[in-house]
Structure 1
Amino acid sequence: MADSGGTCVFCEIVKGERPAHIVLDTPDAMAFLDARPLFKGHTLLVPRTHHETLTDVPPGELGPFFAHAQRLAAAMESALDAAGSFVAMNNRISQSVPHLHVHVVPRNRKDGLRGFFWPRHKYDSDAEAADYASRLATALT
């Protein structure tokens, strides 16, 4: 599925038509901070080409795409001093934007994340969000 066939928020971000705090920008994928993060540094990784779900992605693109997720998970620890990370995706159910995206979330023991009732933590300011994006982007280079 090469085109969203309509308005896709993530496609707009990829095209630079909608603002986002970019963490990773490569020819095949882009990662940016989640606007409603579970924890500060919560990043969404998307393929540049519009694919709605994991099953829509051509097999040859999966390895390179998940290599970016692997790098982001490592960046959570090195750039944000997280003890680990949570890496997840939804396919259709609970997928707030119908464009494949992987959540990479920094985690620490006793951080309050339990089950599927997750609190959201807002950034104190746009500058703070920009700082998180910059720290993660630097760790990826």
Structure 2
Amino acid sequence: MTQSASACLFCRIVAGEIPATVVTETDTTLAFRDIDPKAPTHVLVIPKEHHRAIGDVDPVLAGQILATAHQVAKSEGVDESGYRLVFNTGEHGGQTVFHVHCHVLGGRGLTWPPG
């Protein structure tokens, strides 16, 4: 499935066209609450630039996404008890919005395998 940045849900959130509950923001990333949370803490961290999948992101930006995700875990108070970072990539990986995003999940025991 090909999706242009102008039609991308997350690009529209970055542009302020669609509201979101922002948790934190950096020059390159945006973190906001998932509208259908799967855990008490469920925050999405995205790059502000449109990238379809995590494999399309350069290592510097990938590190910035991970640093923001850890910052979210700390600010949400789940860094000590534990949390999970999830990148769903591609249709078979469960990706439904084709803009890189990292799920920060925590606030309860998380089972394995995840799905």
Q: Shorter chain as normaliser: what TM range?
A: 0.7 to 0.9
Query: 5+ residue gaps in structure 2?
Result: none
Per the alignment, in what secondary structure is the counterpart of residue 77 of structure 1? Answer: coil
RMSD of Structure 2 on Structure 1 (CA)? 2.3
Counterpart for residue 127 of structure 1: none
Determine which of 83, 86, 91 is the counterpart of 1:85: 83
Tell me the secondary structure at the aligned position of residue 7 of structure 2: coil
Report the Cα offset of residue 53 of structure 1.
0.7
The CA deviation at 1:82 is 7.5
Segment drifting more, 8-17 vs 60-69: 60-69
Distance of 1:96 and 1:82 partners within structure 2: 30
Amino acid at match of 2:99: H
Greater Cα radius of gyration, structure 1 or 2: 1
Aligned-residue identity in percent: 33
The structure with the greater share of residues assigned to helix is 1
When you count strand as a share of all residues, which structure comes out higher?
Answer: 2
Gaps of 5+ in 1: 118-141
TM-superposed deviation, 1:63 = 1.8
Give, in whole Å, the separation in 1 of the partners of 2:51 and 2:87: 13
Alpha-carbon distance in structure 1 between the residues aligned to 2:5 and 2:68: 26
Measured in 1, the distance between the counterparts of 2:20 and 2:103 equals: 15
Q: By how many angstroms is 1:84 displaced?
A: 1.7
Cα 1:9–1:83, aligned 2, differ >3 Å: closer, same or farther?
same
Per-residue CA distance 1:54-94 (angstroms, 9 max, x = gap): 1111222222221111212222326xx98221111111131
Once the two structures are TM-superposed, the CA of residue 4 in structure 1 deviates from its matched residue by 3.3
TM-score by length of 2: 0.82
Partner of 1:125: none
Q: Which TM-score applies when normalising by structure 1?
A: 0.69
Q: How many equivalent pairs are there?
A: 111
